[in-house]
Homo-oligomer: A and B are copies of this chain.
Amino acid sequence: MKLVPDASGEIPREVVFKQLCKAFNKSPFFKHCGMKMRVEDGVIKGFVDMDANLVGNVAFQILHGGVAATILDSIGGIVAMGEIYLSGKGELVDRIRQVTRLATSDMRVDYLAPGRGKYFVATAEALRMGRKGCTMRMNLHNDENKLISTAIATYVY
């Protein structure tokens, strides 16, 4: 990912978000699942349309839990990366290194409602941004804005 700082030495928010989305949208498994990152209302969100390939159990026609886990893990990671870039803490080069190294340490997903819907939207918020790791909360809603699953994860960098 190429992130060129502006005159202030920082990278503008929109540029950071766009570049992160571009990078995630190239992730093979993310693409394989038909998922897409996009900036909406000034924040990064993950989108996935319901698809026959994503069903867990044909009898119920609901998303496989692994689909939710995949998009929740990804949205937590990308939003954390944005937070690191825009934190203004430390040198930009160090923040870029942290973003490159960022990896999920552990994640808990709670399945709250059956994964039914035309499409699903994943969002994330930072609960803790530490020097070596962070804690993120993620949510997955369907097209009727029903909360399908929620997750909490720690990422290390």
Contacts and interface: CB of A to CB of B under 8 A. Distances in A.
Interface stretch (A3-11, A52-60, A86-94): A52-60
A149 to B, nearest CB: 9
Contacts of A33: 66
Contacts of A71: 66
B152 A128 contact: no
A113 B128 contact: yes
Given A28-B58, A152-B150, A152-B152, A107 B67 contact: no
A36 to B, nearest CB: 15
A113 B104 CA distance: 11
Interface in A114-157: 127-128, 130, 132-133, 135, 137, 147, 150, 152, 154, 156
Contacts of A133: 105, 132-133, 156
Contacts of A73: 64-66, 69
A53 B66 CA distance: 15
A22 interface: no
Across chains A and B, which 7 residue pairs bring their CB atoms closest together, nearest first? Answer: A66-B70, A69-B69, A29-B64, A132-B132, A108-B108, A32-B53, A106-B110
